[in-house]
Amino acid sequence: MIDSIIEMFSYTFMQRAFIVGILISLCAALVGVSLVLRRYSMIGDGLSHVAFGSVALATILGIAPIEFSIPLVIIVSFLVLKINNNSKISGDSLIAIISASSLAIGTFLVSIKGVNIDINSYLFGSILSLDKSDMIFSVILSLFVIILYIISYNKIFAITFDDTFAKSIGINVNLYNMIFSTLCSIIVVLGMRLVGSLLISSLIIFPTLTSINIFKKFKTVVISSVIISIITFTTGLTLSYYIATPTGATIVIVNLIAFIISYIYSILFQKKK
């Protein structure tokens, strides 16, 4: 048992996958709490498709996919915010349009160019594709997210609970919205290499949903989401290593199981009042 764990960690790609994955899971859970509770879950999903399109574009143009995709996805996320705030198109239809179009454009570009890219590795992720720059990016990202969370935790709570009130007492809600869109974009682009663009949004959404089935205070929801996120990630990655299944799908399935358990718990122990 111990031998096989040592063997697992002897591969560089597994070490990277664990480090990048744990950091991304941590950030995804922190940002996810606010997105889910403000009912913006679909933004992560929409942006992941945009990321797919932009990575495909970058590959065809022969430029570095991450460096190209991060700013592009951030710009799209700002556009979504802007249009969402003052437009007749409702937020969810807007995101549906953007995500379907990006996916279509990405696939279209790849096939027209006939480039030899493995679409599957973008759609469903591939831990083999992680390199050193992914590690550096994810360390910087997670440091930033953790510091931001610590210094503005109370403001993040106020905005998440009631953004109109938060605005009325002088909190710069628009600034925080932009920061969160940026973070969400970076998480999506980095996480997409690991679990794939079709599955990355689940890392943002699942831990919070699981956690709010059990916990009823914001602080415990935040902390437990992070813990759940890291546990489900490491379990999923380890499982996928041993039974040779796709990493992204395995992590999502572990998350699903955790969610179902928490849901059953909430029915058994909380509805009785």
Partner 1 sequence: MKKLIEVSNLTLGYEGRKIIDKLSFDLYENDFLCVVGENGSGKSTLIKGILGLIKPMNGKIQYNDLKQKNIGYIPQETTVSKHFPASVYEIVLSGTLNSVGLLSFYNNEQKEKADNALKKLKIYNLKDKSFADLSGGQRQKVLIARALCATSKLLILDEPSNNLDYNSRKKLYEILKELNEIDCISIIMVTHDLDHSNLIGKHLLSIKEDDFYYGTVENYVKVIHHDR
What is the DSSP code string of the chain? -HHHHHHHHHSHHHHHHHHHHHHHHHHHHHHHHHHHHTT-HHHHHHHHHHHHHHHHHHHHHTS-HHHHHHHHHHHHHHHHHHHHHS-SS-HHHHHHHHHHHHHHHHHHHHHHHT----HHHHHH--GGG--HHHHHHHHHHHHHHHHHHHHHHHHHHHHHH-HHHHHHTT--HHHHHHHHHHHHHHHHHHHHHHH-TTTHHHHHHHHHHHHHHH--SHHHHHHHHHHHHHHHHHHHHHHHHHHT--HHHHHHHHHHHHHHHHHHHHHHHHTT-
Binding residue (CB under 8 A) for partner 1 from 132, 271, 272, 273: 273
Binding residue (CB under 8 A) for partner 1 from 128, 151, 227, 261: 151
Give the nearest distance from C-beta 141 to partner 1 in angstroms: 21
157 in contact with partner 1 (CB under 8 A) = yes
Residue (158 or 200) nearer to partner 1, CB: 158
144 in contact with partner 1 (CB under 8 A) = no
Give the nearest distance from C-beta 169 to partner 1 in angstroms: 4
| Stretch of 60-68, 97-105, 162-170, 237-245 contacting partner 1, by CB under 8 A | 162-170
Binding residue (CB under 8 A) for partner 1 from 1, 112, 169, 243: 169
| Stretch of 15-23, 71-79, 212-220, 240-248 contacting partner 1, by CB under 8 A | 212-220
Q: What are the angstrom distances between the C-alpha of 148 and each of 31, 115, 135, 145, 155?
A: 11, 40, 20, 5, 11
Q: 216-251 burial, b for 16+ CB within 10 Å, e for fewer?
A: eebeebbbbbbebbbebbbbbbbbbbeeeebbbbbb
166 in contact with partner 1 (CB under 8 A) = yes
152 in contact with partner 1 (CB under 8 A) = yes
Residues 60-119 that bind partner 1 (CB under 8 A): 86
258 in contact with partner 1 (CB under 8 A) = no
Residue (74 or 166) nearer to partner 1, CB: 166
| Stretch of 23-31, 188-196, 213-221, 235-243 contacting partner 1, by CB under 8 A | 213-221
271 in contact with partner 1 (CB under 8 A) = no
| Stretch of 100-108, 165-173, 194-202, 249-257 contacting partner 1, by CB under 8 A | 165-173
Binding mask 5-44 for partner 1 (x = CB under 8 A): --------------------------------x-------
Total site size for partner 1, rule CB under 8 A: 28
Other residues' Cβ atoms within 10 Å of the Cβ of residue 5:
11
Binding site for partner 1 (CB under 8 A): 37, 86, 151-155, 157-158, 161-162, 164-171, 212, 215-221, 273
